[in-house]
C-alpha cells in the first residue's frame, strides 16, 4: 500500500546485500574501519573489500577531531581527571571541567557567566530542555523541518508546525495562538540538516518580537562554521541578542561530543534541577578538555573556516555546472536532489564503488519524492577530493540521471 514502493528494485538491492552477507558474514552494515577525516576506509556490502573513500558523511566540518592540539588537550584532561564523570550532573557528576566549558561557551557568545549548561549530546540538549520547559499551558511553534530532537521535546506541550521557512504561515500561527497560551516558543534550526539552508532569521526575529513570543534556535550545524567569527547563523543575521534560547552541539565543528543550551540565568538554573538528563543521566567525560581547546581554535585559527568556505564555493559551482539541483543550500551541507528514492540509492552505491562515501537520504528522513544524496564538506578536503567526486558524478550521470523529476 505504500505508493512509492518498488518491490522489484528493493528485492534486487536486498539480494545484492544478502549475497554479500553469505560471503562476509561478519559485516552486517557499512562502517568506517579507519580514519576520521576527508578520507576514510569503508567496509560495506557493496564493496569487495574495505576501501579508501572520500568521506562526505561527517559533520566534523573543521576536522578538529584530528587536530593535534585538540587531541593533546583531551589526553591531558583524561590524565588529570580520569575517563568518566562518575554520575549525572545533579548528583555529583558536575566537575570543574564542565564549569570551565560552560563559562567558555557563555564567553564565546558574549553572554554572562551562568548562562550555559552542557548536556551529553546535542540531541538531549534539545529534547530534555524542551520537555522541562514546555507544559500543557504552553505552545511550541516549530518549522516543520526542525531536527528530530526538537520534536522529541514537544511531547508535554501543544505544537503548531509551519511549512519550512514560510513567513506567512509563521505569522498566521503567531496570530492564531495570541492570548491562548502561557508561553509561545518559536523553535527553528539555524542551518537545516537535510537542505543545508539557513533559517530566515532576520524576518523571524522581527516577527517573533512583534507578537511577544520567545525564540529558540538550534544552530548545531552553523556554530563554529558560519559567520565572520564562527558564531553561526545568528551571527550571519546579527541575531545573537534576539534569541532567547541558543541550542548547539559539541559534536560537529567542535569535533567532540555533547550539547549545550545558552539562556537566561533563571532558565539555566531551572534546567539544572528539572531537566531529566541533568538529574538521571551521566554527563560528558574529562576528554571535554579537548573541547576547551577546540573552542579557542575557532578564534585562534580562522583559516580552517576560510578553507571550508572555499571548498563549499568550489564544490557548489562544480555541482551546478553538472546541472544538479542543490536546492537552497547555503552551508557545507549540500544535497544532490534526485527525488526518486531508488535512483538515489543507486547513485549512492555507484559513488561508493567509485570511492566516495556519501549518504543516501530517503523517506522518512525527507519527503517520499524528495530523496537526495547528502554531501557534507570539511576544511581538510583537497581540490583532488572534490574533483574526484565531481568527475565520478559526471560519469554516473551518463548512466543514470542525476536530474530531479519535476
Give the interface with ligand PMP as residue ranges (CB under 6 A). 121-123, 126, 147, 149, 189, 193, 218, 220-221, 249, 251, 259
- Cβ proximity to ligand PMP: between 260 and 289 the closer is 260
Residue with cell 579507519: 34
Residue 257 CB, nearest approach to ligand PMP (Å): 7
Q: Phi and psi (nearest 5°) for 226? A: -100, 160
Residue 374 CB, nearest approach to ligand PMP (Å): 11
Strand partners, 213: none
3-state secondary structure 335-361: EEEEECHHHHHHHHHHHHHCCEECEEE
Residue 194 CB, nearest approach to ligand PMP (Å): 9
Residue with the shortest CB distance to ligand PMP: 122
Residue 332 CB, nearest approach to ligand PMP (Å): 12
Q: With contact defined as beta carbons under 8 Å apart, do 237 and 165 qualify?
A: no
Q: With contact defined as beta carbons under 8 Å apart, do 308 and 224 qualify?
A: no
- Cβ proximity to ligand PMP: between 189 and 370 the closer is 189
In this structure, what C-alpha cell is assigned to residue 95?
566537575
- Cβ proximity to ligand PMP: between 65 and 251 the closer is 251
**DSSP reduced 3-state for 107:** helix
Q: With contact defined as beta carbons under 8 Å apart, do 151 and 172 qualify?
A: no
CA distance 320 to 154: 38
- Cβ proximity to ligand PMP: between 147 and 404 the closer is 147
Query: Nearest Cα to 53, choosing from 61, 43, 68?
Result: 43
- Cβ proximity to ligand PMP: between 231 and 343 the closer is 231
Residue 132 CB, nearest approach to ligand PMP (Å): 17
Q: What is the dihedral of CA 360, 362, 367, 373, to 10 degrees?
A: 10
Residue 344 CB, nearest approach to ligand PMP (Å): 20
CA distance 148 to 109: 25
- Cβ proximity to ligand PMP: between 126 and 331 the closer is 126
- Cβ proximity to ligand PMP: between 51 and 58 the closer is 58
**DSSP label of 197:** P
**DSSP label of 366:** S
Residue 21 CB, nearest approach to ligand PMP (Å): 28
Amino acid at each position: 500500500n505504500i505508493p512509492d514502493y518498488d518491490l522489484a528494485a528493493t528485492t534486487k538491492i536486498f539480494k545484492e546485500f544478502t549475497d554479500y552477507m553469505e560471503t562476509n558474514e561478519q559485516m552486517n552494515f557499512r562502517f568506517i574501519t579507519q580514519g576520521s577525516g576527508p578520507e576514510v576506509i569503508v567496509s560495506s556490502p557493496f564493496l569487495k573489500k574495505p576501501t579508501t573513500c572520500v568521506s562526505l558523511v561527517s559533520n566534523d566540518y573543521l576536522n578538529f577531531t584530528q587536530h593535534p592540539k585538540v587531541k593533546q588537550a583531551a589526553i591531558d584532561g583524561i590524565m588529570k581527571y580520569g575517563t568518566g564523570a562518575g554520575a549525572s550532573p545533579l548528583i555529583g557528576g558536575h566537575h570543574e571541567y564542565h564549569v570551565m566549558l560552560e563559562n567558555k561557551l557563555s564567553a564565546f557568545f558574549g553572554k554572562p557567566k551562568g548562562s550555559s549548561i552542557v548536556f551529553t549530546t546535542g540531541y538531549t540538549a534539545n529534547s530534555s530542555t524542551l520537555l522541562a520547559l514546555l507544559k500543557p499551558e504552553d505552545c511550541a511553534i516549530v518549522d516543520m523541518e526542525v531536527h528530530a530532537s526538537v520534536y522529541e521535546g514537544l511531547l508535554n506541550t501543544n505544537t503548531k508546525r509551519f511549512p519550512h521557512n514560510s513567513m506567512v504561515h509563521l505569522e498566521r500561527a503567531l496570530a492564531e495562538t495570541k492570548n491562548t497560551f502561557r508561553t509561545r516558543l518559536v523553535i527553528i534550526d539555524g542551518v537545516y540538516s537535510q537542505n543545508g539552508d539557513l533559517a530566515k532569521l532576520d524576518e523571524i526575529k522581527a516577527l517573533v518580537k512583534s507578537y511577544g513570543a520567545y525564540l529558540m534556535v538550534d544552530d548545531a550545524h552553523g556554530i563554529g562554521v558560519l559567520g565572520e567569527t564562527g558564531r553561526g547563523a545568528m551571527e550571519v543575521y546579527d541575531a545573537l541578542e534576539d534569541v532567547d534560547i541558543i541550542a548547539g552541539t559539541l559534536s560537529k565543528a567542535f569535533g567532540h561530543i555533547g550539547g549545550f543550551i545558552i539562556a537566561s540565568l533563571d532558565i539555566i538554573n531551572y534546567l539544572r534541577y528539572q531537566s531529566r538528563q541533568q538529574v538521571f543521566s551521566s554527563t560528558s567525560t574529562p576528554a571535554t578538555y579537548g573541547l576547551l581547546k577546540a573552542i579557542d581554535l575557532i578564534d585562534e585559527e580562522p583559516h580552517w573556516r576560510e578553507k571550508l568556505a572555499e571548498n563549499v564555493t568550489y564544490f557548489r559551482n562544480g555541482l551546478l555546472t553538472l546541472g544538479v539541483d542543490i536546492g537552497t543550500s547555503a552551508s557545507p551541507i549540500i544535497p544532490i536532489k534526485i527525488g526518486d528514492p531508488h535512483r538515489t540509492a543507486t547513485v549512492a552505491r555507484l559513488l561508493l564503488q567509485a570511492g566516495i562515501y556519501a549518504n543516501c537520504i530517503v523517506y522518512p528522513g525527507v519527503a517520499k519524492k524528495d530523496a537526495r544524496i547528502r554531501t557534507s564538506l570539511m576544511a581538510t578536503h583537497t581540490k583532488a577530493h572534490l574533483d574526484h567526486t565531481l568527475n565520478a558524478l559526471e560519469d554516473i550521470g551518463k548512466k543514470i540521471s542525476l536530474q530531479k523529476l519535476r
